[in-house]
Every structure is written in structure tokens, then in C-alpha cells.
Amino acid sequence: MKFAGIIPARYASTRFPGKPLAMLGGKPVIQRVYEQVKECFDELYVATDDDRIKEAVLAFGGKVVMTSENCNNGTERCLDAYKRLGLDCDVIVNIQGDEPFIQHKQIKALMECFETPDTDIATLVKPFEVSDGLERLECPNSPKVVLNQDGFAIYFSRSVVPYLRGVEKNKWLENHTFYKHLGIYAYRAALLEEITSLPQSPMEKAESLEQLRWLENGYKIKVGVTDIETIGIDTPDDLERAREFATSIGFAWND
């Protein structure tokens, strides 16, 4: 099975304009992400609609493809890139351009999901730990995922699911394994145009979670489980936390 990696990256982020070009450990964030995963793929591209990002990627020796300004999300940008490049692959891996701490083991776990023939789409989760505390569990910016016995997603929610009836909230993490969704996806290439052409679904509109559109239309999302924490960068404050995190654990960049 052939896998290709695409890193969607846009400059005009509402909360953090120019985020891909912000410096982290002496290199732009987009370079950190690219270098973290480049050994996992024969074909890896940054997909962007901004010349500044394009020039930055070319400057560090990366591959880049210019995509439409009209892409509404990373999935649509992956499709646009896939079409423009004419990639010969079975699976497209959509790597978040603001996840500079992503690890090879996580990419491998995502790829292994496609060893199950029924897998249409794959994503990753990390179990919440008791030490995370109730506040992190209840945070709506950390979507939760419910899995079936075969490791496929049943539902994604910003609320805590399942609700543990008869258990005090402060003991929920001690009595059940809750899964936090990590925003990295992989799709069978043959289905990519299909899933991007679907209209918004009721649950997607309610939760503002794109993956619910796929579930509501019958696509099967296989879930890989990782024990590695990721730190996404959505705001300038997140960038500072990422810098502190790298320093505190002595993170070894793939330089």
C-alpha cells in the first residue's frame, strides 16, 4: 500500500496570522512539522495558497504545491493537492501544519489502520489520564471519541461521552477510559473527492466537527491509539507553551 503525506498550511489564520512561519527552536513551525515526518513518506508535500509559505518551504528544501484559495478546510486542500500533483498512492495522510511534536510512531499507528480492509478513513486518539483532571476532560476544545469493539469510531463530541451515570464526576477518569481526539487523518485516496463533496450534516453543524459528516454518511473511521501527547499551535500563547514544552523535556528535533 502506498502512502503520501500532505501538510495543509494557510497564512490567514484568524487567531494566529502567519502561524506556519512563526519560529520554533530556530526554524519555522512548518519546517518543524515537515522534518518530523519526512522519513515516513516517499512523497511529502506542503499544500498552501500563500507565496510566503511556498518560499519558506522551498528554502529549507521541502516540496510544496500551490492550491486554491477557496479550500474550506484541510481535507479539501488535500484533495486539491492530490489532483494537481497526480499522486500515485492508495492513502493520503493529512498532517496538521501546527503539530511540530508529531512522532513517527503516531504516523505508523495511522497507517496500520488500513490493514483493516473496511477502513475508509483513519485518525488517532490518546487516552485521557487521571492526572489530566476533570477540567481538561470537559474542555470543549478537546473532542472526545467513543469507539466500538473493533476500534472504529462511533461518535465524536465536544461534550464528555459517555456520561457515567451513578459515578461522581471527580471520579470519572478513575472509572472509565475516555479518548481525546488528535486532529490527524488519513483517507483512502479513491474516496477523497467523495467525502469532500458531502453536504454538512446535522451533527456536524451541532458540534462543529467535520468528521461527524463522514460518520453520518456511513463511512468507517478506524481509530489508532497513541500514548504520545501532541501540542497543537493555534495562538501565540500556544507557541510560547510549545517552546517551554520543548525545553522542559529536552525534545530532540529531527534536525
DSSP assignment of 1-54: --EEEEEEE-S--SSSTTGGGSEETTEEHHHHHHHHHGGG-SEEEEEES-HHHH
Which grid coordinates belong to 7? 501538510
Whether 84 and 132 share a structural domain: no
pLDDT at position 66: 97
pLDDT at position 157: 98
pLDDT digits (tens, 9 = 90+) for 198-238: 999 999 999 999 999 999 999 999 999 999 877 788 888 98
Both 144 and 94 in one domain: the answer is no
Beta strands in the chain (DSSP E): 3-9, 23-24, 27-28, 43-48, 64-66, 91-94, 121-127, 144-147, 153-157, 179-188, 221-225
C-alpha cell at 77: 486542500
3-state secondary structure of 105: helix
The pLDDT of residue 252 is 63
| Closest C-alpha among 198, 229, 228 to residue 213 | 198
Kindly state whether residues 18 and 78 are assigned to the same domain. yes
Q: Are residues 23 and 56 in the same domain?
A: yes
For residue 238, the number of C-alpha atoms closer than 13 Å in the C-beta half-sphere is 16
Going by C-alpha positions, the residue among 113, 219, 198 that lies closest to residue 156 is: 219
Contacts 24+ apart (CB under 8 A), 39-43: 39/104, 39/254, 40/3, 40/5, 40/104, 40/107, 40/108, 41/3, 41/4, 41/5, 41/93, 42/2, 42/4, 43/4, 43/5, 43/85, 43/87, 43/89
Asked if residue 140 belongs to a domain, the reply is yes
One domain for residues 94 and 169: no
* Domain identity same for 96 and 168: no
Chunked mean pLDDT (size 10), the chain, 255 residues: 96 87 93 95 96 97 96 94 96 94 94 97 97 95 95 98 97 98 95 95 96 97 92 86 78 61
Q: How far apart are CA 107 and CA 6, in angstroms?
A: 12
Report pTM.
0.92
What CATH number should be reported for the domain holding residue 137? 3.90.550.10
Domain annotation covers residue 116:
no
Closest by CA to 182, choosing from 148, 143, 239, is 143
Strand, coil or helix: what is 106?
A: helix
Domain presence at residue 17:
yes
Pair 17, 67 in one domain = yes
Report the distance separating Cα 227 and Cα 131, nearest Å.
Answer: 14
Flag whether 110 is in a domain.
no
- pLDDT, averaged across the chain: 94
Enclosing domain of residue 40: 1-100
Q: Check residue 13 and give its pLDDT.
A: 79
User: How many domains is the chain built from?
Assistant: 2
Cβ(194)–Cβ(112) under 8 Å?
no
